């Protein structure tokens, strides 16, 4: 069957950036399993996978707007180190939960300068064009229970 809304899909993938550096990949021999059409993958990748079938291989290039969004400089803030009380050893690259007016948000420490810490609320892949090499490993229809829960059960999926 081909991939469409509510298909359960398993994919092997390698994700690279413009420079060809590997950013992420599915585990060796173990496909990533997801429920198609529910926003569990970035929009650009779901669109490319629609209509494909088991064994299909594709190479796709996805613009930031169809991936993790454009980089938003407004999500970068500098705070005094004392604002991060309770976090002993603040290092560049560290991921933290910051309390904002819109609730908890994941931020990355991107710079330390004197007493000031720069926190970036962008997704680490925001603003990046993504290059995916994908192989469709399996496609099946979702069960009624999976549709009700909104996620995949069984191997590669949720466990209860």
CA trace torsion 120, 123, 124, 125 (10° rounding): -140
Q: Does residue 105 bind Zn ion (CB under 5 A)?
A: no
* One-character DSSP codes across 78-137: EEEGGGGTT--S--TT-EEEEEETTEEEEEEEEEEETTEEEEE-S-TTTT--EEEEEEEE
Q: Helix, strand, or coil here: 45? A: helix
Q: Kindly indicate which of the ranges 4-12, 89-97, 132-140, 144-152 contains the residues binding Zn ion, using the contact rule CB under 5 A.
A: 144-152
DSSP 74: G
Q: Kindly indicate which of the ranges 71-79, 90-98, 123-131, 143-151 contains the residues binding Zn ion, using the contact rule CB under 5 A.
A: 143-151
Task: Report the nearest approach of Zn ion to the CB of residue 146 (Å).
Answer: 7
Cβ proximity to Zn ion: between 47 and 158 the closer is 158
* Dihedrals phi, psi of 81, to nearest 5 degrees: -55, -30
Cβ proximity to Zn ion: between 105 and 149 the closer is 149
Task: Report the nearest approach of Zn ion to the CB of residue 8 (Å).
Answer: 12
Q: Does residue 149 bind Zn ion (CB under 5 A)?
A: yes
Q: Kindly indicate which of the ranges 45-53, 86-94, 120-128, 141-149 contains the residues binding Zn ion, using the contact rule CB under 5 A.
A: 141-149
- Which 118-137 residues touch Zn ion, going by CB under 5 A? none
């Amino acid at each position: 069957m081909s991939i469409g809304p509510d298909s359960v899909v398993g994919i092997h993938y390698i994700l690279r950036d413009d420079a060809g550096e590997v950013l992420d990949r599915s585990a060796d021999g173990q496909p990533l399993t997801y429920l198609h059409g529910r926003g569990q993958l970035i929009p650009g990748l779901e669109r490319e996978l629609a209509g494909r079938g088991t064994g299909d291989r594709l190479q796709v290039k996805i613009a930031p707007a169809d991936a993790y969004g454009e980089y938003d400089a407004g999500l970068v803030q500098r705070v005094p180190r004392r604002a991060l009380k309770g976090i002993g050893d603040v290092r560049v690259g560290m991921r933290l939960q910051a309390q904002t007016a819109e609730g908890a948000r994941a931020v990355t420490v991107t710079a330390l300068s004197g007493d000031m810490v720069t926190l970036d609320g962008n997704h680490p892949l925001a603003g990046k064009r993504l290059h995916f090499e994908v192989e469709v490993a399996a496609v099946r229809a979702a069960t009624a229970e999976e549709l009700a829960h909104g996620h995949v059960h069984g191997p590669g999926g949720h466990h209860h």
